[in-house]
Structure 1
Amino acid sequence: MSSPTTPHGADQRRGPFRSGERVQLTDEKGRMNTITLTPGGAFHTHKGFLTHDVLIGQPEGCVVSNDTGHKYQALRPLLSDFVLSMPRGAAVVYPKDAGQIVTMADIFPGARVVEAGVGSGALSISLLRAVGDQGYLHSFERREEFADIARGNVETIFGGPHPAWQISLGDFQDEVVKQEAPGSVDRVVLDMLAPWECLDAVATVLAPGGVWISYVATVTQLSRTAEAIRADGRFTEPDGWESMVRGWHLEGLAVRPDHRMVAHTGFLLTARRLADGVTGLTPKRRASKSEFSAADLKTWAPDDEHWDTEALGERAVSDKRLRRAAKDAASTVQRGAFKNTDQPDSAGGQVTDQ
C-alpha cells in the first residue's frame, strides 16, 4: 500500500521480489529473459528449470541457480527494458527519443500535458513519470485497440491506474478543443502522421510560452511541419533534430564501438507558443532557394485526404495482431496487478468517447 506521500508505483520498484512482479533473468552468457513471478510457476530452458518460488521473497540483485546448477542474475526490468519487450500494437517511441522529449520539451512535475497518439503507451509512461501524481496527462487516440494496449502497459508498470492519466478516443484536433480550455495546457506532444493539421488546435489550448514537440518519421513530414509552423505566425522558429545511440564494447583493453547502434528512429521538432497578438521574429538568413511551390507540396502529400501510411514508413497492423496485443497487455496486468488501495480503479486510465 502506498502512503499519501509516496509517488504512484514507487513501492513496486523497491523491496524483495513479490508474486506478480516482472523479473529480468540474465544467465552467465548475458542472455536475458523476463518472467512474471507466479507461486508454483517455473522458468524452463534447455538448461533446466528454475522455480519462481526460489525468487519470491529474495532481494533484487540476487543470483539463483536452476535445478542443473546454471546461475541467473535477477533484477527488476528498467523502463527501457520494459518498453522494448512490452505488448505492442504500434511501433513504440524508443527510450532515447522519450528521454529527449521529456527533457527538450521541459516536462516538469505538475505540468498539464496533452499527447496524441498513444500507440502502445511507451511515451505515456515516460510522460506520467515526469508530471507525477499531481500533474495531468490527457492522451488522445483514434483507435480503441491501441488505447486498450496502452492502458494495460501503463497499469503494469505503475501497478494500477495512474491518478494523473486520462485517455480519450477521437481525432486530436477535434477533441482537444472540446475537452481542454483555451490556454490551459503547458505542453503538447504529438506522435502522428500529419501534425501540421493540428496547428489551430495546438495554438488554442497551449498557454503562451508553452512547448509543442512533434515526433515524425520522415524528412518530408519534418519539412512540412516546420514550414506550416513558420507560416502560422503564432509560434517561435521551429527547431528540428534527431539522436543516435552507439554502445561501446568494454573488455580489458579491447575498447571499441559496438558493431550495431540505434540510429534513425524519428525526428523531433519543437516550437513555443507566442502571446496572442504578437508577431514572431523571423531569423535573418541569406537569400537562398528555400521557397517551395505547389508541386513541392504535391510531393509532400500526393493526396491529403488519403494519406499513404506505408509510404511514410508506418507499417499496417492487422486487427488480429491488435487484439492479441491488447489481450497480452491485459493479461500482464491481471498476473502482476498491485492495486493501489489509496486510489479507486477509476482514478486514471479511463477511456472516454466524447
Structure 2
Amino acid sequence: MNEQDPQHDPQQDPEQDPRQDSPDVPPEAWGGVHRGPLRTGEWVRLVDTKGRKHNFALVPGKKFFSNKGSVDHDDMIGREEGFTLTSTAGGEYLVFRPLLSEFVVSMPRGAAVVYPKDAAQIVAMADIFPGADVVEAGVGSGALTCSLLRAVGPHGKVTSYERREEFAEVARRNVDQFLGGPDGSSHPAWSLRLGDLAEELPASGERYDRVILDMLAPWECLDAAAGALRPGGIVCAYVATTTQLSKFTETVRVHGGFTEPHAWESLVRDWHVEGLAVRPGHSMIGHTAFLVTARRMAPGQSPPRKRRRPAPGAYGPDYTGPRPADVADLGEPPAGG
C-alpha cells in the first residue's frame, strides 16, 4: 500500500501557496493591518484597468456595481488578497486590502488631509518613536493621526485637539475605521479632545515628547507647546503658505527656548519606465505644505547665537513680522554695499 505524502494534498488548489501559515497580526498591535483571508466587515480596494479605485467594506450577499457590471462580495470573502476578479460585464479588478497611504487619500473628509508624503516626513523628521507622548492640533480628517498612532504604538499616547466638532466627528470615524477594534473600540493610545490647544494644554499640566501643529496660526500655540514639551522634545508645524512659514519660524527664533528652526518641503515625482522609455511622469505631487521643526531647550537655557548675519535687507523696513532682538536694527544694505 502506497502511503500518501503528508506534505502534498492532491486536492489542493494549484494556485494556493502550500507554505501558507500566516496567523493574523496580533490585535494588541493596533496596526490596522490583517493577514490571511479577507473577512466580513473588512475594507477592500478594487482597482480597474484604468487605475480607478473603489473602497468598500465586505458584506455577505452584497454586490459592488460599476459601469462594468457587478461583482459579488461573497466572491472576495475568504480569499487571500492579491487576486483579480472579472465583473458580469467583463471588467477586471485587482483586489487588495487598502494601505494606510491609500486609505487616507480616499477617506471621507471634513478638512483637508495631510498627504502621505508629508505624514512620512513628520514621522521621520519629528522622530515619532514607539512609546512617545505626542499631542497634535488640529486633527482635521484624521489622516496624520493614523500615522502618529501607528508610530507610537499601543504603549505611546496621541492626544488630538480640534476646535470644530464636525471635523472631530469625521476624524473619529476615519481613525476608528482603519485602526479601531472589531468591537468598535478606539485605539487605546488615542484621546480626541474638543477645544483650543493654546488654552487647554497649559491647563492640563501634561508633558509631551512631540507637539505637532497643523493649523492656520501655529505661532499662537508656541508658548503652550514650549510649556508642555520635555527638554529635547520637538515642535513641528505644518503650514501651507510662505507667510505662515515666515511668521512661525521667526516666532520660534524670538521665543529663545528652541534650537534654530529647520524649514523644508518635499516634492514627489513618479517615473514612467517601459523598456527604453524611461522618463519623468507628466504629473507630480508638488507643493502641499511646508514643515518646520525645532527642539526644546532645557529650562533657562538658550541656543548659541547664530554667527552668520542675516541676508541684507532680510529684516529691513518692509519686514513687519517677529524680529529677533539681536537683529532689531538691521536695515537695508548701505549704498554701494
CA distance in 1, matches of 2:205, 2:174: 25
Q: Is 1:252 aligned to 2:250, yes or no?
A: no
Where does structure 2 lack aligned partners over 5 or more consecutive residues?
A: 1-22, 323-337
Deviations 1:153-198 (A, max 9, x none): 00000133000000111111100112243xx210000001111111
CA distance in 2, matches of 1:100, 1:82: 18
> What residue is the counterpart of 1:117 in the other structure?
138
CA distance in 2, matches of 1:278, 1:159: 42
- Secondary structure, counterpart of 2:101 in structure 1: helix
Q: Is 1:33 aligned to 2:33, yes or no?
A: no
28, 43, 67: which one aligns with 1:46: 67
Give the alignment of 1:308-319 within 5 angstroms: none
187, 209, 212: which one aligns with 1:186: 209
Give the partner amino acid of 2:141: S
Give the alignment of 1:1-354 within 5 angstroms: 6-10=28-32, 12-160=33-181, 161-181=186-206, 184-286=207-309, 288-291=312-315, 296-297=320-321
Q: Higher helix share goes to which structure?
A: 1
- Does the CA-based 8 Å contact 1:23-1:35 persist in structure 2? yes
CA distance in 1, matches of 2:305, 2:142: 36
- Secondary structure, counterpart of 2:29 in structure 1: coil
CA distance in 2, matches of 1:157, 1:146: 17
| Identity across matched positions, percent | 56
Q: Which has the higher contact order (CA 8 A, sep 6+)?
A: 1
- Secondary structure, counterpart of 1:72 in structure 2: strand
Moved more, 228-237 or 41-50: 41-50
Deviation at 1:45, TM superposition (A): 1.8
Larger Rg belongs to: 2
- Secondary structure, counterpart of 1:17 in structure 2: coil
CA distance in 1, matches of 2:309, 2:321: 23
Q: What TM-score comes out, normalization by structure 2 length?
A: 0.83
- Does the CA-based 8 Å contact 1:128-1:137 persist in structure 2? yes
- Secondary structure, counterpart of 1:23 in structure 2: strand
- Secondary structure, counterpart of 1:213 in structure 2: strand
Measured at CA, do residues 267 and 258 of structure 1 come closer, stay the same or move farther in structure 2, by a change above 3 Å?
same
Q: What TM-score comes out, normalization by structure 1 length?
A: 0.79
Deviations 1:114-156 (A, max 9, x none): 0000000000000000000000001100011111000000000
CA distance in 1, matches of 2:70, 2:116: 32
Deviation at 1:294, TM superposition (A): 8.0
- Does the CA-based 8 Å contact 1:87-1:120 persist in structure 2? yes
CA distance in 2, matches of 1:67, 1:113: 49
Measured at CA, do residues 21 and 108 of structure 1 come closer, stay the same or move farther in structure 2, by a change above 3 Å?
same
- Secondary structure, counterpart of 2:320 in structure 1: helix
Where does structure 1 lack aligned partners over 5 or more consecutive residues?
A: 299-354
CA distance in 1, matches of 2:144, 2:170: 13
CA RMSD, 1 decimal: 2.0
CA distance in 2, matches of 1:29, 1:286: 54
Measured at CA, do residues 286 and 29 of structure 1 come closer, stay the same or move farther in structure 2, by a change above 3 Å?
same
CA distance in 2, matches of 1:294, 1:229: 20
